[in-house]
Amino acid sequence: MKENAAEPAHPPREETLAEVNRRRFLEKLSIGLGALCAAILGLPVVGFLLAPLFRRAPGEWRSVGSVSQFEIGKTVVVSFIDASPLPWAGVTAKTAAWLRRVNDTEFIAFAVNCTHLGCPVRWLQDARLFMCPCHGGVYYEDGSVAAGPPPKPLTRYRLRVVNGDVQIQAAPIPITT
């Protein structure tokens, strides 16, 4: 009589305990090697993404306008790009400072961030005070603390004038917590 074509010539045999153990070992080994390869290939990418967070920002000079556009005695807000913006920062790379033209040649610039928790302070021209809306911090026009919780004066930026161009040295702003 003819054999059924669907039936295998040799029925599957039972795996021995040693074969099962070897198969499990090889499975674990291949998973381990796969993870190791992924880690080796992924490390440079992770390093590239995280390195800017640990790199010390250089003090970059940023132009904020020409001398002639600033009125003597006026304090105005100027914006510029952060010292070392992260590659993915987008518009958040922009920061600002309060810039005052003191006289023909002298300028002074304060960070906009309150030294308490970093809220942006506002300049009140008539009162000649900086006010922080978050917890009522108040600073005199020279940046020293007048009232409220700020523990220290507003941070000052270094400034220079190059060929009629006012430049601020952008640097990370220390905030007290």
| Closer residue to ligand FES, CB minimum distance, 93 or 134 | 134
Provide, rounded to whole angstroms, the least separation between the CB of residue 173 and ligand FES.
13
Residue 172 C-beta: closest distance to ligand FES, Å = 17
> CB-wise, 119 or 171, nearer to ligand FES?
119
Q: 146 - beta bridge partners?
A: none
Given the complex with ligand FES, which of 65 and 148 has the nearer CB atom?
148
Q: Of 80, 132, 84, which Cα lies nearest the Cα of 109?
A: 80
SS3 (DSSP) at 82: coil
> Residue 166's closest CA among 58, 62, 81?
62
Residues that bind ligand FES (CB under 6 A): 114, 116-117, 119, 132, 134-135, 137, 148-150
Residues 6+ apart with CB under 8 A from 31: none
Q: What's the closest the beta carbon of residue 35 comes to ligand FES, in angstroms? A: 45
